[in-house]
Chains A and B, each alone.
Chain A
Amino acid sequence: MGELRELYQEVILDHSKRPRNFGEPAGANRSAEGYNPLCGDRETVFVRLEDDVLEDVGFRGAGCAISTASASMMTDAVKGRTRAEAEALFERFHRLITGQDGEKERSASELGKLAVFSGVREFPVRIKCATLPWHTLKAALAGVDRTVSTELTEGPKAESGGG
Chain B
Amino acid sequence: MSTVLPARDRSEGRHLPLDVEALRRDFPILARKVHGRQLVYLDNAATTQKPESVIEAVADMYRRSYGNIHRGVHQLSVEATDAYEQAREKVRAFVNAASTREIVFVRGTTEGINLVAQTFGRQRVHEGDEVVITALEHHSNIVPWQLLCDEKKANLKILPIDRTGEVRVEELERLLTPRTRLVSVAHVSNALGTLVPVRRIVEIAHARGVPVAIDGAQAVPRIAVDVREIGCDFYTFSSHKMYGPTGVGVLYGREELLDAMPPYQGGGDMISSVTFEKTTWNVLPYKFEAGTPDIAGAIGLGAAVDYLTRIGIENVTAHEEGLLEYATRSLSALPGLTVIGTAREKIGVLSFTLAGIHPHDVGTVLDQEGIAIRTGHHCAQPVMEFFGIPATARASLALYNTREEIDALTEGLRKVQRMFR
Nearest chain B CB to A36 CB, angstrom units: 9
Select B46's contact among A4, A13, A39, A163, beta carbons within 8 Å. A163
**Which B residues are CB-close (under 8 A) to A17?**
356
Bound form: Cα–Cα A8–B378 in Å: 25
**Interface size in chain B (residues, C-beta < 8 A):** 31
Evaluate contact between A39 and B379: CB separation under 8 angstroms.
Answer: no
Q: List, in ascending order, chain B residues with CB within 8 A of A37's CB.
A: 376-377
Smallest beta-carbon distance B352→chain A, Å: 15
Residues of A1-36 whose CB lies within 8 A of B:
1, 3-4, 7-8, 13, 17
Q: Is the Cβ of B376 less than 8 Å from the Cβ of A4? A: no
Q: Are B46 and A8 in touch, CB under 8 angstroms?
A: no
- The A-contacting residues of B in range 320-374, CB under 8 angstroms, are 356-361, 364-365, 368, 374
User: Which of the listed residues B140, B360, B419, B420 has the most CB atoms from chain A within 10 Å of its own CB?
Assistant: B360
Q: How far is the CA of A125 from the CA of B374 in the complex (A)?
A: 13
Q: Would you call A65 and B384 a contact (CB within 8 A)?
A: no
Q: Are B364 and A40 in contact (CB under 8 A)?
A: no
B379 near A161: Cβ-Cβ < 8 Å: yes
Do the beta carbons of B390 and A40 come within 8 Å of each other? yes
Residue of A7, A41, A64, A125 contacting most chain B CB atoms (<10 Å): A64
Please indicate the chain A residues that have their CB under 8 angstroms from the CB of B47 in the complex.
Answer: 162
B371 shortest CB reach to chain A, Å: 13
- Is B132 part of the binding interface, using a Cβ–Cβ cutoff of 8 Å? no
Question: Which residues A142-159 have CB closer than 8 A to chain B?
Answer: 159
Does B138 lie within 8 Å of A159, measured CB to CB? no
CB-CB under 8 A for A39 and B45, given A123-B364, A159-B376, A163-B378: no
Interface residues of A in 108-163 (CB under 8 A from B): 123, 125-126, 129, 159-163
A residues less than 8 Å from B241 (CB atoms): 163
Specify the chain B residue showing the minimal Cβ separation from A161: B379
Contact present for A4 and B365 (CB under 8 Å): yes
Name the CB-closest residue of B to A2: B368
Query: In this complex, what residue of B is CB-closest to A125?
Result: B364
Q: Which residues of B contact A (CB under 8 A)?
A: 45-47, 110, 138, 140, 190, 217-218, 241, 356-361, 364-365, 368, 374-379, 381, 384, 390-391, 419-420
Residue count of chain A within 8 Å CB distance of chain B: 27
A58 at the interface (CB under 8 A from B): no
CA distance A163 to B215 in the complex (A): 12
A159 nearest in chain B by CB position? B376
User: Which of B45, B356, B361 lies at the interface centre, i.e. has the most chain A CB atoms within 10 A of its CB?
Assistant: B361
Q: Given contacts A38-B360, A41-B358, could you give 12 more A-B pairs where the C-beta distance is less than 8 Å? A: A4-B364, A39-B358, A39-B360, A39-B391, A40-B381, A41-B390, A62-B358, A65-B357, A129-B360, A161-B110, A163-B138, A163-B241
Instruction: Give 18 pairs: A residue, B residue, CB < 8 Å, sorted on A.
Output: A1-B368, A3-B368, A8-B361, A37-B377, A39-B360, A39-B391, A40-B390, A40-B391, A41-B390, A65-B358, A65-B361, A65-B420, A66-B360, A160-B379, A161-B140, A163-B45, A163-B138, A163-B218
**When A40-B384, A163-B45 are in contact, do A4 and B368 touch as well, CB less than 8 Å?**
yes
**Which of the residues B46, B361, B419 comes within 8 Å of A64, measured between beta carbons?**
B361
Residue of B nearest to A40 (CB): B390
| A residues in contact with B360, CB < 8 Å | 38-39, 64, 66, 126, 129
Check A162/B368 contact, CB under 8 A, given A39-B390, A64-B360, A65-B420: no
Query: Which residues of chain B have C-beta atoms less than 8 A from A39's C-beta?
Result: 358-360, 375-376, 390-391
Q: Which residues of B are found within 8 Å of A129, using beta-carbon distances?
A: 360
Which of chain B's residues have a CB closer than 8 A to the CB of A123?
364
A38 touches B376 (CB 8 A): yes
Alpha-carbon separation in the docked complex, A8 to B358 (Å): 13
Tell me the complex Cα distance, A37–B377, Å: 8
Name the residue of chain B whose CB is nearest to the CB of A126. B364
Q: Closest 7 A-B residue pairs measured CB to CB?
A: A40-B390, A64-B358, A162-B46, A64-B360, A40-B391, A163-B190, A39-B360
